Amino acid sequence: MASMLNLKEATGNQSSWDTLLPDFPKGPLCKYRQKASFNWKEMAVLLDGEDIIQLKNRIFSALESDPLFAHHPGEDLCREKYQELTFLRCKRLFEYDFLTQQEIMENPLRIFNMVICIGMYDWSLCLQYFLHCGVFAGPILSASKRFADFVKQIYSMEIFGCFALTELSHGTNTKGIRTTATFDRSTQEFIINTPDFEAAKFWVGNMGKHATHAVVYAQLYTPDGQCQGLHSFIVQIRDTKTLLPVPGVMVGDIGKKLGLNGLDNGFAMFHNVRIPKENILNITGDVTAEGKYSSSIKDVKERFSATLGSLSTGRILITALSTTNLKLAISIAIRFSAARRQFGPTDEEEIPVLEYQTQQWRLLPYLAAAYALDYFSKSLFENFVEFYAGLLTKQRSQRQADLGREIHALSAASKPLSSWTAQQAAQECREACGGHGYLAMNRLGEIRNDNDPNCTYEGDNNILLQQTSNYLMSWMNCIRDKAPFESPFGTINFLQDYHHILGWKFTSISVEDSMDSSVPLAAYKWLVCYLLRESDLKLSKEKQSGRSDFEAKNNCQVYYCRSLAIAFIEQTVLQRFHDYTHDPSLPPTLQPVLKNLSALYGLWSLSKHLAVLYQGGYASGEQAGRFIQNAILDLCNRLKDDAVALVDVFAPPDFILNSPIGKASGELYKNIWAEILQGSKALNRPSWWAEFCINKPVAGRLRSRL
């Protein structure tokens, strides 16, 4: 894994770290920075490596130096102006061309980090850029070489793309998509049609104002009237010279959203829109000139999964985007909490709110989660790179199929875990920063609102968890038969000890004994096996009672399969972070704090499952619960003095973070005051002043006289 490769780089010297990472300005946060048990620069180099830090510095510096990206305090942009500015900035990103194809090939984590850097500045911009260069371009790149000209046009921005899958009446249920593509043998064209307004393509990012082309998902019909299932097609929707709709296409913007309003989400309807036969993205199937359908994937279910393979890419990215939102929110809240002083042991002495146990308990587990999920999201991306390399080389091996299944199961659960964690963290951070957290200028509301759709797009979180639990349940036959099995990345290998693990008990004998991540990790293994057993039994009982497969599965979600999927992904995240933090080659100067983070994340996550641990007999008596709770509080206290340095490791520069209370100086009140007074209308009297000063109301004038 990439982070493991960086272990050698962490042994670099102080001068190289200082060149890469300048010192922070002096201010109220210095006290905490001096108390830290480790060097934050050494940690940053360990986690990212010098190559990625240089890339981040280059991107951040370019954005801060460019007037087009300047912030305008106190200015409320209307939606249309925000969309225009987002598009102009997107164009500018093409001009910067931060990474060449060669650089991406050498280290794919570069593109991963570039997308995150742009997102830290503004998620609308990030998504507009990535939807075009990644989500639109991805399926085209995966198809045959005949699309080489399209690819050139994508990266020169001669065309602008979108990914048109969802419809007004169908989102997560992609099998229900009703747009049609009928092959006309006489003209060698596909005819794209929208049967009615409920089948209009809807929620499509970039479609509202800018996209000229779309990857459109439609049911493919051959001349014999047979539906061959869902396939994707390149369809032009606007003229590239005028941005007006092409004949047969009605396309528009769906309106204001709760967040991400710089991104133009749109709708489209098609009426007999003809496209060349060659515009089918022949990833999973194609049609001959005579109208015969052919596919190298004979199994219909497997073909459907391959058609939507690009969705796993999106879910892996959303895992990283959500984790980034978590990092942004916790950076602001920790810095605020270390600088904000309220109350104290005497009337004369006020102490930082970070010193209070409640504030530590509210925030520090989310700091630990940020580290654990960040490590996991990078490792999952690297897993995907291995799988994607097989796709590009058209591998059809069993291992390739197994890679796809495992990545699908992992991404279908990591997206819910990371997006929900970030959503809960953003709200907790907002409240932990008091009234100042509610000021829009401090960005916590924007982070919360921009993160919100991560819980929904690329698959509703609760529905996605079913796909992970289905994957886990599929191993039950092997488990019952005690047949050997394993997965390419090893995430389900511990289930080979299923029968043995179910006999485990909580064995810690003290709070201190509980403060290593091996303790929650063992509990999680038992929890996954227990929930797998209970879910399997529940499903069997439902079927035995005469219910259909559909009804039986529906009745097994809450408290069973849903809990199973969540426990499994939390266990997987913890397993990878535990293995990393306990690696003997980690620098001894960094290992203690990383182990504390791993233990806190594991125990805090596990504490939400305490009822099931007792219910299933893993834990009994008062002590187990008390040990876990007290260990969480002790770890929060241990990490308190390291908290500021830990957010310094991943917080972007002040210009990018764009939060007066989150600035690196910690000068809360100076920063808020300066931001307020920079607003162009902060001191203006209202334009409606005369309504108070001149036009006084006549009390009771409009009261009914009846």
In this structure, the number of other CB atoms found within 10 A of the CB of residue 689 comes to 10
Residues 6+ positions from 143 with CB-CB distance below 8 Å: 281, 282, 283
Strand spans (E) along 271-414: 273-276, 286-287, 293-294, 341-346, 349-352
End-to-end CA distance of the chain: 80
Tokens of 619: 């834990």
Residues 6+ positions from 690 with CB-CB distance below 8 Å: none
Residues 6+ positions from 381 with CB-CB distance below 8 Å: 108, 109, 112, 316, 320
Place of tokens 């909580």: 506
Place of tokens 């925030």: 363
Q: How far apart are CA 189 and CA 192, in angstroms?
A: 10
Q: Which 8-state DSSP code applies to residue 213?
A: E
Nearest of 603, 568, 633, 175 to residue 361 by alpha carbon? 633
The answer to whether residue 691 is catalytic is no
Q: How far apart are CA 53 and CA 47, in angstroms?
A: 10
**Dihedral-angle region of residue 117 (phi above 0 means left; psi in -120 to 50 means alpha; beta otherwise):** alpha
Percent of residues in the chain assigned helix, strand, coil, to nearest 5: 60, 10, 30
Quick check: 414 and 318 in contact, CB under 8 A?
A: no
Q: How far apart are CA 586 and CA 602, in angstroms?
A: 20
Residues 6+ positions from 6 with CB-CB distance below 8 Å: 45, 46, 47, 48, 49
Q: Could you give the angle at the alpha carbon of 439 between the alpha carbons of 437 and 442, nearest 5°?
A: 70
Amino acid at site 636: C
Residues 6+ positions from 550 with CB-CB distance below 8 Å: none
Q: Which 8-state DSSP code applies to residue 667?
A: -
Phi, psi of 342 (to 5 degrees): -145, 135
Q: How far apart are CA 22 and CA 24, in angstroms?
A: 7
Query: What is the helix (H) or strand (E) element at residue 451, kind and residue range?
Result: helix 444-451
Q: Which 8-state DSSP code applies to residue 517?
A: T
Q: Which of 167, 428, 458, 542 is catalytic?
A: 458
Catalytically annotated residues: 458
